[in-house]
Protein backbone atom coordinates (compact mmCIF):
# COMPACT_ATOMS: atom_id res chain seq x y z
CA UNK A 1 0.00 0.00 0.00
CA UNK A 2 2.84 2.42 0.79
CA UNK A 3 4.44 1.63 -2.57
CA UNK A 4 1.21 2.59 -4.34
CA UNK A 5 1.00 5.88 -2.44
CA UNK A 6 4.56 6.86 -3.36
CA UNK A 7 3.89 5.84 -6.95
CA UNK A 8 0.83 8.12 -6.87
CA UNK A 9 3.00 10.95 -5.54
CA UNK A 10 5.40 10.39 -8.44
CA UNK A 11 2.50 10.57 -10.93
CA UNK A 12 1.27 13.80 -9.34
CA UNK A 13 4.78 15.27 -9.58
CA UNK A 14 5.16 14.16 -13.20
CA UNK A 15 2.01 15.90 -14.44
CA UNK A 16 2.98 19.48 -13.40
CA UNK A 17 6.56 18.87 -14.52
CA UNK A 18 5.41 17.91 -18.01
CA UNK A 19 2.89 20.75 -17.96
CA UNK A 20 5.56 23.30 -17.03
CA UNK A 21 7.86 22.05 -19.78
CA UNK A 22 4.99 22.20 -22.27
CA UNK A 23 4.09 25.78 -21.32
CA UNK A 24 7.67 27.03 -21.51
CA UNK A 25 9.08 24.99 -24.41
CA UNK A 26 6.06 24.44 -26.67
CA UNK A 27 3.80 27.41 -25.94
CA UNK A 28 6.83 29.68 -25.34
CA UNK A 29 5.41 31.21 -22.14
CA UNK A 30 8.31 32.53 -20.04
CA UNK A 31 8.01 31.68 -16.32
CA UNK A 32 8.24 34.30 -13.59
CA UNK A 33 10.72 34.12 -10.69
CA UNK A 34 8.26 32.44 -8.32
CA UNK A 35 7.37 29.92 -11.03
CA UNK A 36 11.07 29.07 -11.30
CA UNK A 37 11.28 28.56 -7.53
CA UNK A 38 8.34 26.16 -7.64
CA UNK A 39 9.93 24.29 -10.55
CA UNK A 40 13.17 23.97 -8.58
CA UNK A 41 11.29 22.08 -5.86
CA UNK A 42 9.01 20.08 -8.20
CA UNK A 43 11.41 18.79 -10.85
CA UNK A 44 13.71 16.79 -8.48
CA UNK A 45 10.69 14.90 -7.10
CA UNK A 46 10.23 13.26 -10.50
CA UNK A 47 13.71 11.74 -10.12
CA UNK A 48 13.81 11.08 -6.36
CA UNK A 49 10.49 9.27 -5.96
CA UNK A 50 11.17 6.49 -8.51
CA UNK A 51 14.52 5.79 -6.85
CA UNK A 52 12.59 4.91 -3.69
CA UNK A 53 10.24 2.63 -5.59
CA UNK A 54 12.70 0.20 -7.20
CA UNK A 55 13.48 -1.34 -4.73
CA UNK A 56 11.00 0.10 -2.27
CA UNK A 57 12.63 2.31 0.35
CA UNK A 58 10.32 3.89 2.90
CA UNK A 59 13.02 6.46 3.73
CA UNK A 60 12.33 8.20 0.41
CA UNK A 61 9.71 10.23 2.30
CA UNK A 62 12.54 11.90 4.23
CA UNK A 63 14.13 13.05 0.99
CA UNK A 64 10.93 14.10 -0.79
CA UNK A 65 9.15 16.02 1.97
CA UNK A 66 11.90 18.67 2.34
CA UNK A 67 11.32 19.49 -1.32
CA UNK A 68 7.53 19.40 -1.33
CA UNK A 69 6.95 21.60 1.74
CA UNK A 70 8.96 24.66 0.53
CA UNK A 71 7.39 24.25 -2.90
CA UNK A 72 3.94 24.45 -1.32
CA UNK A 73 4.96 27.57 0.61
CA UNK A 74 6.16 29.27 -2.58
CA UNK A 75 2.93 28.30 -4.35
CA UNK A 76 0.82 29.77 -1.52
CA UNK A 77 2.94 32.91 -1.54
CA UNK A 78 2.38 33.19 -5.29
CA UNK A 79 -1.37 32.72 -4.85
CA UNK A 80 -1.54 35.43 -2.21
CA UNK A 81 0.49 37.72 -4.45
CA UNK A 82 -1.94 37.25 -7.34
CA UNK A 83 -4.93 37.76 -5.02
CA UNK A 84 -3.45 41.07 -3.83
CA UNK A 85 -3.12 40.02 -0.20
CA UNK A 86 0.66 40.56 -0.21
CA UNK A 87 1.61 44.24 -0.73
CA UNK A 88 3.54 45.27 -3.83
CA UNK A 89 6.52 46.47 -1.79
CA UNK A 90 7.71 42.91 -0.98
CA UNK A 91 7.14 41.45 -4.43
CA UNK A 92 10.12 39.31 -5.43
CA UNK A 93 9.68 39.73 -9.21
CA UNK A 94 11.65 42.89 -9.86
CA UNK A 95 12.97 41.72 -13.24
CA UNK A 96 11.27 39.96 -16.12
CA UNK A 97 7.60 38.96 -16.02
CA UNK A 98 5.69 40.28 -12.99
CA UNK A 99 4.63 37.53 -10.62
CA UNK A 100 1.20 39.07 -10.08
CA UNK A 101 0.32 38.65 -13.74
CA UNK A 102 -2.08 35.79 -14.58
CA UNK A 103 -0.54 34.08 -17.58
CA UNK A 104 -3.25 31.40 -17.82
CA UNK A 105 -6.66 31.36 -16.14
CA UNK A 106 -9.19 28.58 -16.70
CA UNK A 107 -12.83 28.73 -15.56
CA UNK A 108 -12.19 32.17 -14.11
CA UNK A 109 -10.19 30.98 -11.08
CA UNK A 110 -7.79 28.13 -12.02
CA UNK A 111 -4.30 29.60 -12.34
CA UNK A 112 -0.85 28.03 -12.56
CA UNK A 113 0.02 28.81 -8.89
CA UNK A 114 -3.28 27.20 -7.81
CA UNK A 115 -2.46 24.04 -9.76
CA UNK A 116 1.03 24.07 -8.26
CA UNK A 117 -0.36 24.40 -4.72
CA UNK A 118 -2.80 21.54 -5.32
CA UNK A 119 0.00 19.36 -6.72
CA UNK A 120 2.35 20.04 -3.79
CA UNK A 121 -0.45 19.48 -1.26
CA UNK A 122 -1.36 16.15 -2.88
CA UNK A 123 2.27 15.04 -2.88
CA UNK A 124 2.68 15.94 0.80
CA UNK A 125 -0.54 14.10 1.75
CA UNK A 126 0.49 10.99 -0.19
CA UNK A 127 3.98 10.99 1.32
CA UNK A 128 2.65 11.33 4.87
CA UNK A 129 0.14 8.54 4.25
CA UNK A 130 2.89 6.33 2.80
CA UNK A 131 5.13 7.00 5.80
CA UNK A 132 2.38 6.11 8.29
CA UNK A 133 1.46 2.95 6.36
CA UNK A 134 5.07 1.81 6.05
CA UNK A 135 5.76 2.44 9.75
CA UNK A 136 2.69 0.38 10.72
CA UNK A 137 3.79 -2.34 8.30
CA UNK A 138 7.32 -2.35 9.70
CA UNK A 139 5.95 -2.63 13.25
CA UNK A 140 3.80 -5.60 12.22
CA UNK A 141 6.72 -7.18 10.40
CA UNK A 142 9.01 -6.65 13.39
CA UNK A 143 6.48 -8.17 15.79
CA UNK A 144 5.93 -11.19 13.52
CA UNK A 145 9.70 -11.66 13.15
CA UNK A 146 10.07 -11.32 16.89
CA UNK A 147 7.40 -13.96 17.44
CA UNK A 148 9.06 -16.31 14.96
CA UNK A 149 12.46 -15.81 16.57
CA UNK A 150 11.03 -16.58 20.02
CA UNK A 151 9.34 -19.73 18.68
CA UNK A 152 12.54 -20.79 16.99
CA UNK A 153 14.58 -20.23 20.18
CA UNK A 154 12.07 -22.15 22.26
CA UNK A 155 12.04 -25.06 19.84
CA UNK A 156 15.85 -25.05 19.73
CA UNK A 157 15.97 -25.04 23.53
CA UNK A 158 13.57 -27.97 23.66
CA UNK A 159 15.68 -29.92 21.20
CA UNK A 160 18.88 -29.33 23.18
CA UNK A 161 17.37 -30.73 26.42
CA UNK A 162 17.55 -34.54 26.38
CA UNK A 163 14.17 -36.20 26.76
CA UNK A 164 13.31 -37.67 30.13
CA UNK A 165 13.44 -41.43 30.43
CA UNK A 166 10.10 -42.94 31.04
CA UNK A 167 10.05 -44.81 34.32
CA UNK A 168 8.12 -48.01 34.16
CA UNK A 169 5.72 -48.45 37.02
CA UNK A 170 6.70 -50.87 39.77
CA UNK A 171 5.42 -54.38 39.42
CA UNK A 172 5.69 -55.01 43.13
CA UNK A 173 2.51 -56.70 44.43
CA UNK A 174 2.60 -54.48 47.48
CA UNK A 175 2.93 -51.28 45.33
CA UNK A 176 0.41 -48.73 46.41
CA UNK A 177 0.33 -45.14 47.58
CA UNK A 178 1.35 -46.23 51.10
CA UNK A 179 4.02 -48.78 50.23
CA UNK A 180 5.66 -47.19 47.18
CA UNK A 181 8.61 -45.88 49.21
CA UNK A 182 9.29 -49.25 50.80
CA UNK A 183 9.03 -50.95 47.44
CA UNK A 184 11.54 -48.55 45.93
CA UNK A 185 13.97 -49.20 48.78
CA UNK A 186 13.56 -52.93 48.34
CA UNK A 187 14.43 -52.61 44.63
CA UNK A 188 17.52 -50.49 45.37
CA UNK A 189 18.72 -52.95 47.98
CA UNK A 190 18.38 -55.95 45.64
CA UNK A 191 18.71 -54.70 42.03
CA UNK A 192 18.96 -58.24 40.59
CA UNK A 193 15.59 -59.16 41.92
CA UNK A 194 12.80 -59.05 39.37
CA UNK A 195 9.31 -58.82 40.70
DSSP state of 174: T
Could you report the per-residue pLDDT of 96-155, keeping only the tens digit for each? 677 777 777 777 778 888 899 999 999 999 999 988 887 765 555 445 545 665 555 556
pLDDT at 44 over 80: yes
CB-based contact 134:58 (threshold 8 Å):
yes
Q: Which residues pair with 111 in a beta bridge?
A: 105
Residue 63: which domain range? 2-141
Residue 96 lies in a domain: yes
Q: Which CATH number do you get for residue 14?
A: 1.20.1550
Residue 187 lies in a domain: no
pLDDT at 190 over 70: no
Residue 133 lies in a domain: yes
Q: Could you give the CA distance from residue 38 to residue 120 in angstroms, rounded to a whole number?
A: 9
Residue 98 lies in a domain: yes
CB-based contact 44:15 (threshold 8 Å):
no
Closest CA to 58 of 145, 127, 140: 127
Residues in CB range of 157: below 8 A, 6 or more apart: none
Section 40-56 average pLDDT: 90
pTM given for the model: 0.63
Work out how many domains the chain is built from and give that number: 1
CB-based contact 82:100 (threshold 8 Å):
yes
pLDDT of residue 182: 52
CB-based contact 96:33 (threshold 8 Å):
yes
Mean pLDDT for all residues in the chain: 76
pLDDT of residue 46: 93
Amino acid sequence: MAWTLIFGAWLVASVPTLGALFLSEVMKLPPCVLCWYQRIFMFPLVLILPIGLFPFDRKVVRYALPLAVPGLLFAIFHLLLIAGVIPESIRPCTQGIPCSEKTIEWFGFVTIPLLSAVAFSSIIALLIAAHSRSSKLSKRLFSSLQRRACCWLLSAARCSIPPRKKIRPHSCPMHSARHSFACTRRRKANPMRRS
